[in-house]
Amino acid sequence: MSFNLNTLLRPNIKTLTPYSSARDEFHGEAKVYLDANENSIGSPLLKWYNRYPDPYQQKIKEKLSAIKGVAPKQIFIGNGSDECIDLLYRAFCSPGKDNVIICPPTYGMYEVSANINDVELRKAPLLENFQLDLVHMETLVDANTKLIWICSPNNPTGNSINREDIEMILNNFDGIVVVDEAYINFARQRSCISLLSEYPNLVVMQTLSKAWGLAGLRLGMSFASEEIISIYNKIKPPYNISEAVQELVIKALDNVEDVNAMIQELVSERKRLEEALTAIPVVEKIYPSDANFLLVKVADAKAIYTWLLSNEIVVRDRSKVILCEGCLRITVGTAKENDELLTALQKFIV
Ligand SMILES: *Cc1c(COP(=O)(O)O)cnc(C)c1O
Q: What is the average per-residue pLDDT within 140-144?
A: 98
- Separation of alpha carbons 321 and 299, rounded Å: 16
Angle, to 10 degrees, between the axis of helix 256-278 and the axis of helix 335-346?
10
Beta strands per DSSP E along 124-279: 145-151, 176-180, 202-207, 220-223
Provide mean pLDDT across the span 306-313: 97
Residue 248: exposure state from Cβ atoms within 10 A (0-12, 13-18, ≥19): middle
321 shares its domain with 195: no
Q: Name the band, by pLDDT with cuts 50, 70 and 90, for residue 24.
A: confident
Taking the CA atoms of residue 141, residue 142, residue 144 and residue 145 in that order, the dihedral angle to the nearest 10 degrees is 10
Q: What is the CATH number of the domain that holds 149?
A: 3.40.640.10
| Contact between residue 59 and residue 91 where contact means Cβ atoms under 8 Å apart | no
Same domain, 242 and 205: yes
Expressed in angstroms and rounded, the spacing between residue 180 Cα and the centre of ligand 1 is 8
The CA-based dihedral angle spanning residues 330, 335, 340, 344, taken in that order and rounded to the nearest 10 degrees: 50
The residue nearest atom 13 of ligand 1, judged by CA position, is 107
- Ramachandran angles phi, psi of 16, nearest 5°: -65, 135
Query: If you average pLDDT over residues 120-131, what whole number do you get?
Result: 98
pLDDT tens-digit profile of 58-67? 999 999 999 9
Do 18 and 131 have their domain in common? Answer: yes
93 and 150 within one domain: yes
147-183 confidence digits (pLDDT tens): 999 999 999 999 999 999 999 999 999 999 999 999 9
Residue nearest to atom 11 of ligand 1 (CA): 182
Whole-number pLDDT of residue 349: 80
When pLDDT is averaged across residues 312-340 and rounded to a whole number, the result is: 98
Sign of the C-alpha dihedral computed for residues 203, 151, 117 and 222 taken in this order: negative
Residue whose CA is closest, atom 12 of ligand 1?
A: 182
Pocket-forming residues, ligand 1, beta carbon under 6 Å: 80-82, 107, 151, 155, 180, 182, 207, 209-210, 215, 220
Residue 135 pLDDT level (bands cut at 50, 70, 90): very high
pLDDT of residue 111: 98
177 has which bridge partners?
A: 148, 202
Q: How far is CA 207 from CA 56, 64, 74, in A?
A: 17, 11, 15
- For residue 154, give the ligand 1 atom closest to its CA: 13
Range of the domain at 146: 5-254
pLDDT given at position 246: 98
pLDDT in tens, 194-218: 999 999 999 999 999 999 999 999 9
Whether the predicted pLDDT of 42 surpasses 90: yes
Using one digit for the tens of pLDDT, what is the confidence trace for 264-284? Answer: 999 999 999 999 999 999 999
Q: Give the position, in ligand 1's atom list, of the atom nearest the Cα of 207.
A: 8
What confidence score (pLDDT) does residue 270 get?
98
Asked whether residue 21 falls in the same domain as residue 158, the answer is yes
Q: Whose CA is nearest to atom 14 of ligand 1?
A: 182
Would you state the pLDDT for residue 48? 95
Indicate which CATH number applies to the domain containing 273. Answer: 3.90.1150.10
From the CA of 219, how far away is ligand 1's center (Å)?
10
Q: Report pLDDT for 23.
A: 84
Q: Is the pTM of this model over 0.95?
A: yes
Together in a domain, 106 and 208: yes
Cis? peptide before 105, omega within 30° of 0? yes
Q: How far is the CA of 240 from the centre of ligand 1 (A)?
A: 17
Query: Do 125 and 263 lie in a common domain?
Result: no
**Whole-number pLDDT of residue 2:** 85
Per-residue pLDDT band for 317 (boundaries 50, 70, 90) equals very high
pLDDT score at 116: 98
